[in-house]
Structure 1
């Protein structure tokens, strides 16, 4: 697997393509950001960026653009998709919440809260985060018939870049619409 991936950012089209290409990408600081504050990208698959634009902008009567750049995941990426050690680290933090009595089980905690806790405790030295969600278009493929174990494919994969200096490779170019 290459540590440099093509990444897509979906943005509202405000008739400012030159500004987007000069100043982009743009940081998300919404309180409900999935992985905390940062520069959000869809990893490799432009269809996810397109679907996000349609659901978040077109459905609200707005237009959208998609910017593209390269992201270097070898620069301290907290990879919750492809790194078992990072999953274990993440689960250890959840267990701290459970054993401290702050929560009963992992279903009572959110991903951004866990990441924020790790940042506050000084145990989050990462410059980016990569994670996938189990979206309605994800597919469960069973390993054997009559088994409960399965693999999830076609998960949407997002990258949240916290520190763009070493992670983002320029240029950031608008590729949609043409």
Structure 2
């Protein structure tokens, strides 16, 4: 899998943890399933200094909540998101934000204590798709909560 970061003077020896409260899968080490998505992310979000780096690593997904390919995991995930959203909406009177969902999971669910990560997909809106206005491919990402499942982390490409 692929980890994208801004270029630095010194190469990374380990991935950088995303600590943003509005990160869509919570605090964790984020990786893309395929290189094209890592490149797209770098071009659009990690290019402040004019270049970025893509690192490659192996991820042990044995104890990962797989919402992409495992139907039971997906149904569990969906129920948990909706449960959290309903709780927040009832409490605040408005739709929940990603930040509030993540805070709920951090406070109540303790996801990082029960799973090593979450494998998730969305539909890419990018110019690299071969058919206009047709999002035919999954964009798969993993948020890793347990750094021990990451191995063989190396520089793949400087862009």
Q: TM-score, normalised by structure 1?
A: 0.71
Inter-partner Cα distance in structure 1 for 2:110 and 2:21: 21
Count of residue pairs brought into register by the alignment: 150
Q: Does residue 168 in structure 1 map to residue 134 in structure 2? A: no
Residue equivalent to 2:8: 14
Q: Which has the higher strand share?
A: 1
Residue equivalent to 2:124: 135
Higher relative contact order (CA 8 A, sep 6+): 2
Kindly indicate whether the alpha-carbon contact (under 8 Å) linking 1:27 and 1:40 is maintained by their aligned counterparts in 2: yes
Residue equivalent to 1:147: none
Deviation of 1:10 (Å)? 0.5
Deviation of 1:175 (Å)? 1.3
Q: Does residue 34 in structure 1 map to residue 24 in structure 2? A: yes
Inter-partner Cα distance in structure 2 for 1:88 and 1:38: 22
Report SS of the residue matched to 1:35. Answer: coil
Larger radius of gyration: 1
Residue equivalent to 2:132: none
Residue equivalent to 1:98: 86
Deviation of 1:90 (Å)? 2.6
Inter-partner Cα distance in structure 2 for 1:114 and 1:79: 19
- Unaligned runs of 5+ residues in structure 2 are 130-134
Inter-partner Cα distance in structure 1 for 2:57 and 2:39: 15
CA RMSD of aligned residues (A): 2.8
Deviation of 1:47 (Å)? 0.8
Report SS of the residue matched to 2:22. Answer: coil
Deviation of 1:103 (Å)? 6.9
Deviation of 1:154 (Å)? 1.3
Q: In 2 relative to 1, CA 111–131 (structure 1 residues): closer, same or farther, beyond 3 Å?
A: farther
